[in-house]
Amino acid sequence: MIKSYANIIDCLRWFASALPFYIFTKLRHILSKKISTAFTILVFVSVFCSCENDIKKVNILTDKKKFPSESITDAEILYSDSGRVTGRLRAKKMDHYIGEHPFTIMPKGVKVDFFDHDLKPETQLSANYALKYDDRDMLEAKGNVVIINNKGEKLNTEHIVWNQKTEQINSDVFVKITTKTEILMGNGLESNQSFTKYKILKIRGIIQLKDSLK
């Protein structure tokens, strides 16, 4: 009987010593599975996010890099009214884009001549860049915009909008008009396309030229 109790006690001691190792082994096995699963999920999320970011980048680049449907060098456009030529537009490069609202970009500058009834140039317009809204008959000129009429009066500004339907020119930025007698400066402008009737919306200053004071 004593030997049986001794055997039982030895078995309990062995079980007590082996139990922590068994528990540790089981826990390690379970944790290994969870860690492996978590790592797999993490890798999947990372790859998914990376792919999603790449797709977004591709979309952004695609949106930014729309190619023109037609490109013309040394382009020229004639404008007419009731069979009479009223103007001529020239551009070193002209890119035309189609779509719901087609437009034309002139990234290398533009020159426009407005003709009188005798087909003689009465006003010249030039700018470093132009955007033509084809469905609205409007042209937006930017960068070193200069307009000179047949009197020699000159407009300097950085932005104008030419409405071909109303034959009006407007600006909402700083303008300077130089005549034979004075220099007018201000913000905003309304003018006819021949630049013979114009008005500065907010006069900021007038400089009388010396020759006009003699």
Please count the CA atoms within 13 angstroms of the CA of 194 that sit on its side-chain side: 11
Residue type, 137: D
Please provide the CATH number assigned to the domain covering 70-213. Answer: 2.60.450.10
Distance CA 76, CA 197 (A): 27
Instruction: Report the share of the chain in percent with pLDDT over 90.
Output: 56
pTM exceeding the 0.95 threshold for the entire prediction: no
Q: Is the pLDDT of residue 39 over 60?
A: no
- Whole-angstrom distance, CA of residue 103 vs CA of residue 45: 42
| β pairing state of 138-149 and 198-208 | unpaired
- Give the pLDDT score at 206: 95
Average the pLDDT over each of 54-68, 101-115, 148-162, 172-186 and give the range with the smallest value: 54-68
